[in-house]
Structure formats: C-alpha cells, structure tokens
Structure 1
Amino acid sequence: MSETQVVTAPGPLLLSDGRPAAAAWSLDPGMLHLNHGSFGAVPLVAQQRQSELRDEMERAPVAWFPRQPARLAAARAEVARFLRADAGDLALVPNASAGASVVYAALTARPGGDVVVTDHGYGAVTMGAARLARRWGARVRTAHVPLAADADQACRAVLDEVDDRCALVVLDQITSATARRLPVERVGAELARRGVTLLVDGAHAPGLLPAPLDGLACDAWVGNLHKWGCAPRGTAALVARGPLREHLRPLIDSWSADEPFPLPFDQQGTLDATGMLAAPTALAFVEDAWGWQAARRYLDELADYGAHVVAAALAGSSAAAPVADVGMPVPGMRLVRLPDGLGATRVAADALRDRATAELAAEAAFTSFDGVGYLRLSAHVYNTPADYERFADACVPVVLDWARRARSSA
C-alpha cells in the first residue's frame, strides 16, 4: 500500500438480525480489541457449545470419557474439511507449539544434524528447535530473511542455510512478529527433493488462508484453530502425510498409544477436550453468518484501512515509512512502524502491550524485528473502521508521548 493510495473504510459486518458483528462475542465494549491474532476471541455460540459439553461431561464423567475418542474423531473430520485436508492425516492438539513439540519428540536422532530456522520464527517453536539441536549435539542455523524480501529472496535466504548437514528446517507459513508469508511451498518442494525434513508452523493460517495445505510438501504442519478460526483456546491441528506420521505420538500416553496416527491423539486420559469438540461450531458460525471468503475479504480491506489511519496519525515519528513493506503480505494483518525508541526488543514490545492494556484500554500487538518496534494490526469480523479511528485519535498521541519521554531519558 503506497502512502498516496486512497483507502476507503469498508462497511462494518452485521449479523442477520441487523446487530453489529461484535454482538456475537462477549468482548468488553470498554476495551479496544485490535489484536485478534494473539489469542483469538470465541463467539458466544461456541462458548455456549463448550459449556454444554462440559456440563454433559461433569454430569456423567464415566459415561463421557469412553465416548470422547469417537466424538473427537468426528470433530477432527469437520476440521479437516475446513482445512481441505484428509481426516486421517490430522490430529487435534492444544496449540501449534504443542504440535511442534510432538514433531521434535518423534524425529529420529541425527547426531550433528543441523536445524535451520529463520529470524522471523515464533519464539517458543524456535526454542523447541534449539532444545532438539542440543540433544543432537548439533547447531541451530538462522536464515536471515529481510522484512521486505519477496518470494525469490526469502526462498534463497532459507535454502542458502541448507547443506548436507541439515536434518530439519522449521519454517513459518505466516510469521507472528512480522505479519508476512514465507514461501513454504517453494522451499518445501526443494527440501523434498533433497530429502530434508520440513516442519511448517502454520499457527496463523487456518481461517486466514482458504486452503493452507494445498500445494505444500512438508513432513508436518501445525496450525491454530483458536486464532483466526475463533475456536476455544487450546485447539489446533497437526497434519502429517509422509513416513514421519507413523512416529507421531501425543505427549500423553493413554490406551490408544499403540494405534496408528492419528488415533492416539483422540484418547489422552482425562484431557478436557470440550474446546476441541466446540471448534466446528465456531468455524460454522463464521461460514453461516458471512461466509469465510467474504470474511477474509472484509478483514483485508479493514486491515488496509486501519493501517492507513494509524500510520497517518504516526506520520513523521520515524525516519522510515510508517506502514512496513513485508514483501509477502497476508490478509487481515498489517505492520506499522512504531516511533523511534519504542519496542525495539521483544521484552520492550511486550511491555508496551501490557502498558497499552492498562493505560489505554487497548488490546494491541506490539512486536519487534531487527531492532525496530512495530504495531501489528490484526482485524477480525467484529472489528470496525471506528476501532482504528478511535485508536488513532485517542491512543496514538499517548504512544507518541511515550516515545518522546523514552528518547529524552535515553
């Protein structure tokens, strides 16, 4: 989006009875909710469905738990249809990081086999890769992908780190801190040719991408349903299609431990799986209310407008263009550069997040990359143009004051 481009506000989405979309959620109207991408937000119908399931479980737990595996199998079949995947290739896990941990535990030890990650990787998943490398007595090699790198440049940056010592590549489909895509399809095709294992972290992909697994060659893929899919927290998918799948086991052994993938994931002792069972309700709600295709279009138009409005309010606060060029943008997410002196590290960015919540009544994502702080805007159907106008008018002046104070005390 160029600085001179005219950006118009999309009309807010409404429910079938004419109420605003936000009426279908229980979000505090006194807060600005501009950070759906971190923890999601669960519509009331899915909250109600989970409560009904939990009540059923608590009324007769001895009847509930023997039947839970079959119910989970039915739920993952619906999730698989949403992702356009095969239900036999998909297991339900608590979150993308948990799915990555399952993959790390299943990999055959490769003493000295290097692990390649990128500097856009999600911290917890990268930490797990580093722990795996230590067990193998190997190195973690970080591919440095410039923020504005296009598909060719990003692909080259990753593959330049892959040599004969490389045993595993961990690559984000959509990056968390920098709100961009990485060319997982192209990298995956080349790694398959070379026989190198690929784990794709698709935490943000379900809901944002219509078919995140289409054309993707990888050994394992993980994606959160509790982000853009609006499922209850603790609901994610782990998809495996190659030989690795037969070695994947949940981190909790139970009575299905000897069954083939994905059946062991359907039975994990007394795990409260009501969130997973309510996930199809959340996915169906968005489809029935607006259709996922229309929802994604709205998210993208709204993110464009939000970035335009917030960037205009921040104009002149840094030497660089306020709306960051991320090379391979994604629907519904934009990256706006913060004033110089703010959020230059992950710790500093997290502190800004907490301060904005406490002092501005605004839930917003502050991130950092390569020593620069950013505001990551992520929109969902309950957001409206007025949310971003309010943030620009009421919150940005305070953020600018924070920056001035930080620079004066430096």
Structure 2
Amino acid sequence: MSEHPTDPQHERVTLSELQQHYPRVPGYLSACTAGLPAEATTAALRAFVDEWSAGSLDPKRIGAQLEACRALYGRLVGVATDRVAIGSQASQLASVVATAVPDDGEVLCVVGDFASLTHPFEQLRARGVRVRYAELEHLAAAIDARTSLVAWSHVQSATGAVSDAAAIAAAARSVGALTCVDLTQAVGWLPVDASSFDVTICHAYKWLCAPRGSAFMTVRDGLDDALTPLAAGWYSADDPWSSCYAGRTPLAAGAGRFDLSPAWPVVAGTVAALETISRIDLRVVHDHAAGLANSARSVLGLAPGDSAIVTWPDRDGSDLAAMTEAGITASGRAGNARVAFHLWNTPDDVARLQSALGASAG
C-alpha cells in the first residue's frame, strides 16, 4: 500500500471496473450497516497482521499512511488537508463539537437521529444547555435566535431520508448558529461539499468501506479555537514524535489538534479503502445506488425517493425475517426494515428482494 495519496483525477475508472475490486456477495444490501472491503483493503489488513507478528511494524510509516488518509478524505469531501481531523468514532468527535456550545445555549437536533451524534450534546445539561428536536423536514424552519448549534445527519440512519442541507445551513447562518453535519450515511455514495458547513463528522466503515475504527472530522478554517480538544494526546501536534512527553505538547496549527492517537491495525486498510473509492466520480456511484434503490421501491410498492437507503415499516420483523431466509443481508432499525444499495450491487439484488417480499412491503 502506498504511503501517499494517489491523485484520483488521474485514475478515474468506470463503475464496472471498480466493481471488480469488491467482493460479489449476492443479496448483500447492508452498506448502511457496514461496507464490504475492497481487495486492497483486505490485503492491507492481512499485511498488518503479518508485520505485527513478525515484529516489523514501523510506526512512522503508519503515520505517513495516516496522513494519506487525511488527504484522501479531504479530497472526497472538498476541503483542504489541514481542515481534516482523524478519530476513531463519531461520538468522540461530536463530543469535541459540544465544547463550542455556550453555557445556556441551545442545540437543535433531528427527531430519531443517531445517538452517537445527539448523545454528547445531551450531556451538557449541567451547563444549562438545552437540546431541542425537530422533524428533519422542518429543521430549517425550527432554527431561531435561541439556536447556538444545529447538529443533524445528512442522511438519516433509521429512514434513509436525505436532508435539505443547503437550506438548513442557510437558516443557521442567518441567526449566527454553528452547523455540525454527520456524513456517515452519505460520504461514499452521495457527493458532499463539507466546506459548506462549520463542522462535519464521518465514520468510514459504512459507505467508504474502511475498517471500523476510522473516523474523520472537518473543521472550518477559523473555528479551531472555538473547539476544545478534549482527547488531546501525543498525536495532537504537527510533529507527534517530538511531543510525546509532558513539557513539550504543542497543538497542531490546523484541525490535526483534534486527532486521536491512531488505531494502527486499521490505518493501512483505511488508506486502501479511500484510494479505491477515490478512483470513481461519486456522482456515478450516486446514480447507480439511487437508481437500484428506486427499482427496489418500485417492486415493493413504495414511492420513489432520492436515497440509496430504502426503509419501510416492519414492526414485527416479518419482512426482515423473510429477507434473511432468502439469503439477503438487510437490517432492522427503529421499527423499519432497511436495505441499502452501493456500488457492488446489481439488478440481480433487486430481483432477489422482489422474490423474497414481492409487493408485501408496500
């Protein structure tokens, strides 16, 4: 695995070419739960274990790979490399964002959003911070002069609904509120410009198909000092190897001050995952995934949508059980059955879904 990011503009491939780099698992409709690893990701993870068992790990080489991750992710979401911080999970990054909320401030969130985003803000009660909730479709209208921060998932985990992010961000700017957008269910199939928001966070193990344990945060230039690096450690400096001990612990000049010490076993696999998906225009992935999702909605008797995630009510779990019996890997969330389509899926997966459920889901 290379230590430096490739230039995705020079290595674009077609969808069919990229699909060859991922395993074909018939009926795997669960990228919204966990992405499938590219061949290069699997090889990188195995190589790490081999090096570890041979006593030949090189921490500085792993550090170079981590910088490749930072650069690749920045390119994917349209921000400069120094605006990207690296962590291990979304809630840890959201906890850093929570430090920017003033005492007695208000955080506006979405009803039913994922707990890793909302939970850290709920812990601010001792500072007088109130968390208010609104339905996703009414989030922009719910922003008012009381709002200090708006935090929402661009694509909702439980329903697959895609937010009108531009309208929400504009409404927040109009009252001087900060924006924090969770892109975990978006980046990898939905083109996103993270520079449109104050902060974004993303765990990479879903649509980016990285190993679990790699997460990213982007921070708007000029906002670093408004956030407190709660988990600052030896890796929170521009030169980590010169800041390992107390008395010499400067913070990085950019968003790297919010870095966590890297989880070494997943770094090489994350580089491979990001390099692989960076080889295709995400608009192509979007059109493919959303197109298959709408084909699935059609055969299930559901209305067309704009998301790669398809959900419908399944309170008793009978539809999920029928899909599992038919060899389909799906999920159930918040009383819904949930399937998702990514770049490796084909019309055969829609046919398998139709065979398992017919129009009963509608």
Shift of 1:240: 0.2
Among 42, 47, 50, the residue aligned to 1:52: 47
Please name the residue that 2:246 is paired with.
Answer: none
Alignment coverage as a number of residue pairs: 335
Among 65, 68, 81, the residue aligned to 2:59: 65
Among 298, 304, 321, the residue aligned to 1:308: 298
The answer on whether the counterparts of 1:333 and 1:376 sit within 8 Å (CA) in structure 2 is yes
Gapped regions of structure 1 (runs ≥ 5): 1-12, 146-153, 312-321, 404-410
- Alpha-carbon distance change, 22 to 192 in structure 1, aligned in 2, over 3 angstroms: same
Amino acid at match of 2:333: T
Shift of 1:34: 1.2
Q: Whose helix proportion is higher, 1 or 2?
A: 1
Distance across 1 between alignment mates of 2:168 and 2:328: 38
The answer on whether the counterparts of 1:117 and 1:126 sit within 8 Å (CA) in structure 2 is yes
Instruction: Find out whether 1:137 has 2:143 as its counterpart.
Output: no
Instruction: Find out whether 1:24 has 2:22 as its counterpart.
Output: yes
The answer on whether the counterparts of 1:96 and 1:202 sit within 8 Å (CA) in structure 2 is no
Please name the residue that 2:216 is paired with.
Answer: 237
Distance across 2 between alignment mates of 1:53 and 1:262: 27
Distance across 1 between alignment mates of 2:264 and 2:228: 19
Pairing 1:106-145 to 2, within 5 Å after superposition = 106-107=99-100, 110-132=102-124, 134-145=125-136
State, as a whole percentage, how many aligned pairs show the same letter. Answer: 22
Shift of 1:89: 0.2
The answer on whether the counterparts of 1:366 and 1:375 sit within 8 Å (CA) in structure 2 is yes
The answer on whether the counterparts of 1:206 and 1:212 sit within 8 Å (CA) in structure 2 is no
Using CA pairs under 8 Å that are at least 6 residues apart, name the structure with larger relative contact order, 1 or 2: 2
Please name the residue that 1:40 is paired with.
Answer: 35
- Alpha-carbon distance change, 304 to 352 in structure 1, aligned in 2, over 3 angstroms: closer
SS at match of 1:362: coil
Shift of 1:301: 1.8
Distance across 2 between alignment mates of 1:75 and 1:385: 32
SS at match of 2:58: helix
Among 270, 276, 284, the residue aligned to 1:294: 284
- Alpha-carbon distance change, 186 to 278 in structure 1, aligned in 2, over 3 angstroms: same
Q: TM-score, normalised by structure 2?
A: 0.79
Cα shift readout 1:314-344 (whole Å, capped 9, x = no counterpart): xxxxxxxx33x66xx23x2333x34xxx32x
Cα shift readout 1:353-409 (whole Å, capped 9, x = no counterpart): 5x46764543213334xxxx5433310122222222222213559x77xx9xxxxxx
Distance across 2 between alignment mates of 1:243 and 1:237: 18
Amino acid at match of 1:241: R
- Alpha-carbon distance change, 130 to 360 in structure 1, aligned in 2, over 3 angstroms: farther
Gapped regions of structure 2 (runs ≥ 5): 1-14, 238-248
SS at match of 2:179: strand
Please name the residue that 1:280 is paired with.
Answer: 271
- Alpha-carbon distance change, 44 to 70 in structure 1, aligned in 2, over 3 angstroms: closer
Please name the residue that 1:150 is paired with.
Answer: none
Please name the residue that 2:349 is paired with.
Answer: 387
Q: TM-score, normalised by structure 1?
A: 0.71
Distance across 2 between alignment mates of 1:39 and 1:190: 33
Please name the residue that 2:11 is paired with.
Answer: none
Distance across 1 between alignment mates of 2:267 and 2:319: 32
Pairing 1:7-406 to 2, within 5 Å after superposition = 14-15=16-17, 21=19, 24-25=22-23, 27=25, 32-60=27-55, 64-104=58-98, 106-107=99-100, 110-132=102-124, 134-145=125-136, 154=137, 157-213=138-194, 216=196, 218-246=197-225, 247-249=227-229, 251=231, 253-254=233-234, 256=237, 258-260=250-252, 261-264=254-257, 268=261, 271-288=262-279, 291-311=281-301, 322-323=302-303, 329-330=306-307, 332-335=308-311, 337-338=312-313, 342-343=314-315, 355=321, 359-368=325-334, 373-395=335-357
Amino acid at match of 2:330: A
Shift of 1:80: 1.2
Shift of 1:46: 0.9
Higher-Rg structure is: 1
Shift of 1:66: 4.5
Shift of 1:101: 2.4
The answer on whether the counterparts of 2:184 and 2:203 sit within 8 Å (CA) in structure 1 is yes
- Alpha-carbon distance change, 274 to 93 in structure 1, aligned in 2, over 3 angstroms: same
Amino acid at match of 1:308: S
